[in-house]
Every structure is written in C-alpha cells, then in structure tokens.
C-alpha cells in the first residue's frame, strides 16, 4: 500500500530531525534484512546511542537538503537503505552496521556521512575499526594513572624491603 503525502511528510520530518542531531551516519543495503534482525539491531543500537531506520533514498536526499547537507551520493545507494544515525560519537553507527554486515552475507555497507561529507565503504570500515569514545576515555585514564601507580609501587617496594630487613634482624636475634 502506497504511503500518503502526510505519512511521507511525517517520515521526512523524522529523518530531518535525526540528521540535525547526528554526528555520523552509515548506510547498508536492506536485502536479507528481516524484522527479527531489525528488532535486535534497534535494541543494540539504543545501548550505544545509535538510531536505525530503513529509508528511501529520495526522502533521505530531501531531508539532507533541508538540513544543508548536499554531500550524500545517492548513486551509490540503491532503493531503500538501512541508515544508522550515530548521536554519541562518530564511530558507533559504523561499528553497528559493520558488525551486522559481517553476520549477514546478503547485506553490504554502502557508505556513510561524517562531518557533513559523504565517505565511501572503505572509510566506513576504517571508522568501524576505531575504538569507541568510552574505550578511548578508558585508555586515557589508564595512561594518566600509570605514572602515579608506578610511583606508588616504587615507594611500596622500599617499604617492603625495609620490612624484610627488619624481619630478618628480628629472626636473627630470636
């Protein structure tokens, strides 16, 4: 059943709102994508701040123009596409769809949008390989903490040595 103009406008408004808030996007083909897959993907996406939507490329193009993004290359996108909108960081949308395309052979990555520029499949794969924002923050905290914990271990080593010497003296006198 064809959508009415009102339904299309509502979908367009939803896509436009997501485009305004997104930091990065990733696109994949929808061949072989079932409702069971969609439900699982939406649940997984919510956990990492990614919203997933199946869109028609014409509606996506119109919404992008409304937001001021003219870089989406619709020639690489066929028919309806699976669009992942990443709101928390730049790599989460790419990670989500790259993981999905690895599980489902019938689906493939088509590209993405990063900082208002269209990026190809290879760039999306590179983005997916990067650590997430929380992983990077964890590494930063570990790096900042390393000198402090090393200093504490050095001080504790001197105390351990002193305790060992005092214990040896006590055993010798006893």
pTM above 0.95, yes or no: no
Which of 130, 145, 163 is the last residue in one of the domains?
130
Mark whether 119 and 157 lie in a shared domain.
no
Are the beta carbons of 96 and 52 closer than 8 angstroms?
A: yes
Mark whether 81 and 111 lie in a shared domain.
yes
Q: pLDDT tens-digit profile of 102-146?
A: 888 888 888 888 888 888 889 989 888 888 778 888 888 888 887
Q: pLDDT tens-digit profile of 9-67?
A: 888 889 899 888 888 899 988 887 888 888 888 899 899 889 998 888 888 888 888 88
Mark whether 74 and 148 lie in a shared domain.
no
Give me the phi and psi of 99, to 5 degrees please: -65, -40
Mark whether 45 and 66 lie in a shared domain.
yes
Mark whether 16 and 99 lie in a shared domain.
yes
C-alpha separations of 150 from 83, 90, 145, 146 in Å: 46, 34, 9, 6
Mark whether 168 and 149 lie in a shared domain.
yes
C-alpha separations of 165 from 12, 155, 158 in Å: 77, 16, 11
Mark whether 18 and 42 lie in a shared domain.
yes
Picking from 65, 69, 83, 58, the residue whose alpha carbon sits closest to that of residue 117 is: 69
Mark whether 34 and 72 lie in a shared domain.
yes
- Total structural domains in the chain? 2
The residue written with tokens 């994949």 in the block is 28
* DSSP code string of 112-167: EEETTEEE-HHHHHHHHHSPPHHHHHHHHHHHHHHHHHHHHHHHHHHHHHHHHHHH
Mark whether 95 and 157 lie in a shared domain.
no
Give me the phi and psi of 139, to 5 degrees please: -65, -40
Residue 56: its H or E element: strand 50-56
Range of the domain at 121: 5-130
Picking from 116, 97, 109, the residue whose alpha carbon sits closest to that of residue 23 is: 116
């Amino acid at each position: 059943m064809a959508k009415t103009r009102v339904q299309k406008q509502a979908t367009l408004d939803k896509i436009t709102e997501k485009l305004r808030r997104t930091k990065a996007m990733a696109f994949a083909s929808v061949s072989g994508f079932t409702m069971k897959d969609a439900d699982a993907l939406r649940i997984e996406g919510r956990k990492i701040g990614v919203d997933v939507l199946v869109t028609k490329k014409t509606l996506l193009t119109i919404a992008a123009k409304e937001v001021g993004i003219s870089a989406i290359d619709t020639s690489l996108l066929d028919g309806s596409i699976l669009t992942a909108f990443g709101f928390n960081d730049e790599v989460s949308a790419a990670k989500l769809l790259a993981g999905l395309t690895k599980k489902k052979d019938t689906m493939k990555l088509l590209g993405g949008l990063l900082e208002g520029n269209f990026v190809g499949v290879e760039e999306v794969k590179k983005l997916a390989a990067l650590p997430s924002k929380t992983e990077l923050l964890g590494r930063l905290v570990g790096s900042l903490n390393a000198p402090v914990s090393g200093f504490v271990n050095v001080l504790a080593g001197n105390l351990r040595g002193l305790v060992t010497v005092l214990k040896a003296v006590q055993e010798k006198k006893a």
